[in-house]
Amino acid sequence: NAGVMQNPRHLVRRRGQEARLRCSPMKGHSHVYWYRQLPEEGLKFMVYLQKENIIDESGMPKERFSAEFPKEGPSILRIQQVVRGDSAAYFCASSPNSGNTIYFGEGSWLTVV
Amino acid sequence: GENVEQHPSTLSVQEGDSAVIKCTYSDSASNYFPWYKQELGKRPQLIIDIRSNVGEKKDQRIAVTLNKTAKHFSLHITETQPEDSAVYFCAASIRGSSNTGKLIFGQGTTLQVKP
């Protein structure tokens, strides 16, 4: 049973470009969470999605950030017009249902130059 | 608001000693409390968890205790080994106004076990 798959693992973008991070949950998991981890800091909740629905986006910045989890395919976290402050590790996690154990992917490290 | 406080931020122990990390949470409706271990450059990995209907849980050298009245829970590692060195995160399920049960994490504790 493959774990949570994230890609790309490392991504370098120039200021103003767009970053797209993809996440495929574990088999049988329909709940996806995105967390951001700044260097030497903790895990900050961004968004919680189920298939075709955003359940909780209270941690998402109001501008430039969006997330989706379509009926088919991976969940995508999209950051438009990236700035240096967006440089971080973005972790996706999945669970079979709400309020339960979540399992993290290996993360996507975004560097904005 | 939704908050999980974790202490200490750094902890250094001698190999073989015990290590204790403490967390407090604000949402009285929280009912699930996992602990994750994260090594440098790696993903957080679940090491133990506890639910609100249980006061203590143990798995070999690791134990977690929960005090719902005081809204705090702790991680205990006994007979520490150098490979226990990592960052440890506590988390609590937060129901909040959206009732989604998302996990909110503490700030992390960097544990160093000296040989």
DSSP letters of B29-88? Answer: T--EEEEEEE-TTS--EEEEEEETT-SEEEETTEEEEEETTTTEEEEEE-S--GGG-EEE
Q: With 0-12 CB in 10 A as exposed, 13-18 as middle and 19+ as buried, what is A31?
A: buried
pLDDT of residue B97: 53
Choose, out of A4, A46, A90, A100, the residue to mutate when testing the contact with B (most B CBs < 10 Å). Answer: A100
Please give the average per-residue pLDDT across B3-28, as a whole number: 96
pLDDT of residue A41: 83
pLDDT of residue B94: 80
Q: Which of A53, A48, A55 is nearest to A70 (CA)?
A: A53
**B14-51: b (≥16 Cβ within 10 Å) or e:** eeeeebbbbbbbebeebbbbbbbbbeeeebbeebbbbe
Selecting from B45, B89, B100 the residue whose C-beta is nearest the C-beta of A43 gives B89
Contacts of A45 in chain B (CB under 8 A): 102-105
Selecting from B32, B43, B89 the residue whose C-beta is nearest the C-beta of A99 gives B32
Question: CA-CA distance, A54 to A81, in Å (whole number)?
Answer: 22
CB of B43 closer than 8 Å to CB of A107 = yes
Question: CA-CA distance, B78 to B60, in Å (whole number)?
Answer: 9
- The rounded mean pLDDT for chain B is 92
pLDDT of residue A94: 94
**pLDDT at residue B99 tops 80:** no
Selecting from A48, A101, A107 the residue whose C-beta is nearest the C-beta of B49 gives A101
**pLDDT at residue B115 tops 60:** yes
pLDDT of residue B20: 98
CB of A34 closer than 8 Å to CB of A92 = yes
Choose, out of A46, A58, A92, the residue to mutate when testing the contact with B (most B CBs < 10 Å). Answer: A58
Question: Taking CB atoms and an 8 Å limit, are B89 and A42 in contact across chains?
Answer: yes
Q: What is the chain A residue with the closest CA to B98?
A: A56
Question: Taking CB atoms and an 8 Å limit, are A98 and B101 in contact across chains?
Answer: yes
Q: Could you read off the pLDDT of B40-73 as tens digits, one per residue?
A: 999 999 999 998 887 899 999 999 999 999 999 9
**pLDDT at residue B91 tops 60:** yes
**Contact status of B42 with chain A (Cβ, < 8 Å):** yes
Tell me which residues of chain A have a pLDDT lower than 50: none
**pLDDT at residue B29 tops 90:** no
Structure tokens at A95: 């669970």
